[in-house]
Structure 1
């Protein structure tokens, strides 16, 4: 109880982080039981620790390998964490550096030898909402724009604190190293690679995650605060669009306009465009071409000064010219095994133009679209049936893509081909991912669709409906 009371006082802010006894961390994690394990990364295993008063913490157990057996990284992480106190950086409660002897019997000789067992552990606050990577989606579903924007600015503020107040480079900034609390406030975690920032360094051993790691660090081992800026750019792009590739600004705003079911306000327009422009600058190949974290925050803050109540809508985005698709996520019971099943996807054209569509099925042996391409007339709806043949139990998600584009009024269904949907200069082809998720259901439940759509239910009534089954 004495040991736990020390940790309780640290959690309550009455004491500073300190060296924690190994028995304490073993006790609160049920001796690092499988039931308490909540994650694993390249540097260690993560366990949930529960104190007798109900407080939950996280214990990170460093895996002893050739990469981590040198205590330099461990001491660097502890040094970094001991001095950190910011709302956008995870709270650190303490560490454990323990070496003890364990009797090991040689398999051949039968001799008993004493070997050193090294335990390196870190204790953090428990964040309830999981990591950011679990919340990344495209513009048409998932987190609202305001929440995404607050997450972006929160990450930037946490990174500014690390760079400018603590002179720390993270070196593995990515969505899985950003936790979200119950108010969706981001907290930067995992300083296993963090090092003091004294201008720039050449590191012999390279870590990091492909897609987020800066090119000068990946290829030359050169590190600076601009390495984290490169990673930040990748995170911002993913938060806005759901993918890595450099986005077309106007197309991104079109998709958000479709999600909002109204033209963007000046504030929304400025926030989206400035985030995209800043992310592109962050991804520059040369470190000196990337902005500093203070410049990023300054530019983003400028857009926040706009009074949303007094601005007009952006006129060039008045019309929603995208094809409505409902639902965006289809939930099917995994228990259906020996019968053909189907579900309906509703396509809605609320525009004054004809819109052609093409459904790309990743697994044509498993799914069939009836029809898989066609034309939705102006101000009308069109039902597409997706047919599933008999299948065994399935527990993984599938996806197919609905492509759409405006076409001339005299085009007929028969001439619609897949090649028409290849993007060319001056032609806008929208692609929307439709997720198929298999979940266990009760026997009496029928096929159902989640009410997750990229078109609001209160959309103006369409003049007519087409059915093709």
Structure 2
């Protein structure tokens, strides 16, 4: 800041030395930016602030499409396309170093799974301001007003978090698998080719284009490794649901921190949630969906299994035990090149997929749906089929806080026969809260038993590991549908 004399006219308080107000040929500059957008070989450019103000309607709230740790993102419209303009927040633009560091390494980042930087803007203007001192003649100071902006390609489909769903709905498996591969490819490029730690890898920072190709974005809190294997940071602008335990405990960040985040993302893409991975139930749910669809992915079983295996390794507490991103990419590539057949399925894409070896009972549904009505019990039927040549005993448990009545909690199902269960949600005076419903599950434990046993012979010890028999534990989600309520 520079102080001015007291003789300066009061009107100078409004004087602006503003580079953005210089005459800018908006049409010409828009054409340059549009050419950069359409031709990836064009070098990045320093964009005038006036152009970015024009295409975002002076950073109007209605143009805001995202907010990250370092700034707010606006959509800017050109004559033949759109761009995303990231306006860095003032708290992070006081020092130019942050901006130039980000702009410098982003300029060199070019990969199909990384959002492309089209240009940047570093604008500084001076503003005369009154700085009154009590009892003295007012003085004028000239304050620097800095604008630091980055202009990226606009990705039409939005962020990945809007597309996450469980196995029974949402994106098809092939699409999810291609997204996983794309994210891994982009992260390998950042780690190996550019030495960049993302530090905030999460679905909200992965964008999808019209072909559902993933593109990693938001390097606002990224760091260059500069030859070191890890750094310690006090930066709190990291999403806790995706950050590694060593960051939570010690503030330590490394490329293995990104690997942990990747493990959470893969888990969400495979299952729709961050919870514990039960590989048998995950595969059961995917098989159920595949059998309901016309086409079945030839290597779906192997791909789901491999992705779960990778996710579990990524989520290990010890950073040293987590795989490198290059190892993960190699595992996925090896799977692509294999000629092995899916267990129990063969080469055919037609016909139902046979049950997996551990499955003892087949279910006609894998969710219990209760269309809620106030003060009314809501029934839901479930049909089981014994798909083995053995007698199968089962025991049912309901988790959560809601009350249920179960007809046939225990039973022995003869070989190749069916059994019906009725689960009734007890009458409730008010609709349950959504967070309550998330904890509601129907759990059935199944085990092969000898002929002659009845329901009265079933006990908890039969389902323990000590019994020496393989137990199939099936988890069904409980869905309480409250949208049908009339206010």
Aligning the two structures, in what range does the TM-score lie when normalised by the shorter sequence? 0.7 to 0.9
Q: CA RMSD in A?
A: 4.1
1:52-102 deviation digits (Å, cap 9, x = unpaired)? 44x22212222222x664333322221222112211111211222222244
Is the 2:200–2:239 contact (alpha carbons within 8 Å) kept by the matching residues of 1?
yes
State TM-score, norm by structure 2. 0.73
Cα separation, 2, equivalents of 1:140 and 1:26:
44
Structure 2 CA distance for partners of 1:395 and 1:284, relative to 1, 3 Å: closer
Q: Match of 2:384?
A: 349
1:217-264 deviation digits (Å, cap 9, x = unpaired)? 4544554433322222222223223333552434433333333339x9
User: What is the aligned counterpart of 1:154 among 169, 182, 188?
Assistant: 182
Cα separation, 2, equivalents of 1:211 and 1:273:
23
Is the 2:367–2:477 contact (alpha carbons within 8 Å) kept by the matching residues of 1?
no
1:401-427 deviation digits (Å, cap 9, x = unpaired)? 333333787337xx99xx999997764
User: What is the aligned counterpart of 1:139 among 150, 161, 167?
Assistant: 167
Cα separation, 2, equivalents of 1:100 and 1:373:
76
Q: Match of 2:224?
A: 196
Is the 1:402–1:432 contact (alpha carbons within 8 Å) kept by the matching residues of 2?
yes
Q: Match of 1:289?
A: 321
Deviation at 1:153, TM superposition (A): 0.9
Where do residues 231-250 of structure 1 align in structure 2 (5 Å cutoff)?
231-250=261-280
1:272 matches 2:311? no
Where do residues 54-133 of structure 1 align in structure 2 (5 Å cutoff)?
55-65=81-91, 69-102=94-127, 114-133=142-161
SS of 2:189's equivalent in the other structure is helix
Structure 2: gaps of 5 or more residues? 1-26, 347-353
Cα separation, 2, equivalents of 1:248 and 1:384:
24
1:250-298 deviation digits (Å, cap 9, x = unpaired)? 4433333333339x98833332222222222223344333322222111
More off after superposition, 229-238 vs 111-120: 111-120
Where do residues 372-411 of structure 1 align in structure 2 (5 Å cutoff)?
374=409, 379-382=418-421, 384-386=423-425, 398-399=437-438, 400-406=440-446, 410-411=454-455
More off after superposition, 346-355 vs 232-241: 346-355
Q: Match of 1:46?
A: 73
Q: Match of 2:242?
A: 212
Structure 2 CA distance for partners of 1:441 and 1:29, relative to 1, 3 Å: farther
Is the 1:233–1:283 contact (alpha carbons within 8 Å) kept by the matching residues of 2?
yes
Is the 1:257–1:320 contact (alpha carbons within 8 Å) kept by the matching residues of 2?
no
Cα separation, 2, equivalents of 1:422 and 1:129:
47
Cα separation, 1, equivalents of 2:370 and 2:44:
47
Structure 2 CA distance for partners of 1:434 and 1:43, relative to 1, 3 Å: farther
Is the 1:359–1:372 contact (alpha carbons within 8 Å) kept by the matching residues of 2?
no
User: What is the aligned counterpart of 2:36 among 10, 33, 36?
Assistant: 10
SS of 1:60's equivalent in the other structure is strand
SS of 1:298's equivalent in the other structure is helix
Q: Match of 1:467?
A: none
Cα separation, 2, equivalents of 1:62 and 1:259:
44
More off after superposition, 304-313 vs 55-64: 304-313
Structure 2 CA distance for partners of 1:245 and 1:25, relative to 1, 3 Å: same
Q: Match of 2:365?
A: 325
1:175-200 deviation digits (Å, cap 9, x = unpaired)? 22111222221111111122223242
Cα separation, 1, equivalents of 2:119 and 2:334:
39
1:229 matches 2:229? no
Q: Match of 1:464?
A: none
Cα separation, 2, equivalents of 1:86 and 1:93:
13
SS of 1:212's equivalent in the other structure is coil
Alignment length (residue pairs): 428
Cα separation, 2, equivalents of 1:165 and 1:251:
38
Q: Match of 2:196?
A: 168
Q: Match of 1:462?
A: none
State TM-score, norm by structure 1. 0.75
Structure 2 CA distance for partners of 1:396 and 1:228, relative to 1, 3 Å: closer
Structure 2 CA distance for partners of 1:233 and 1:266, relative to 1, 3 Å: same
1:30 matches 2:57? yes
Cα separation, 1, equivalents of 2:302 and 2:235:
37
Is the 1:357–1:402 contact (alpha carbons within 8 Å) kept by the matching residues of 2?
yes
Cα separation, 2, equivalents of 1:52 and 1:383:
60
Structure 2 CA distance for partners of 1:423 and 1:131, relative to 1, 3 Å: farther
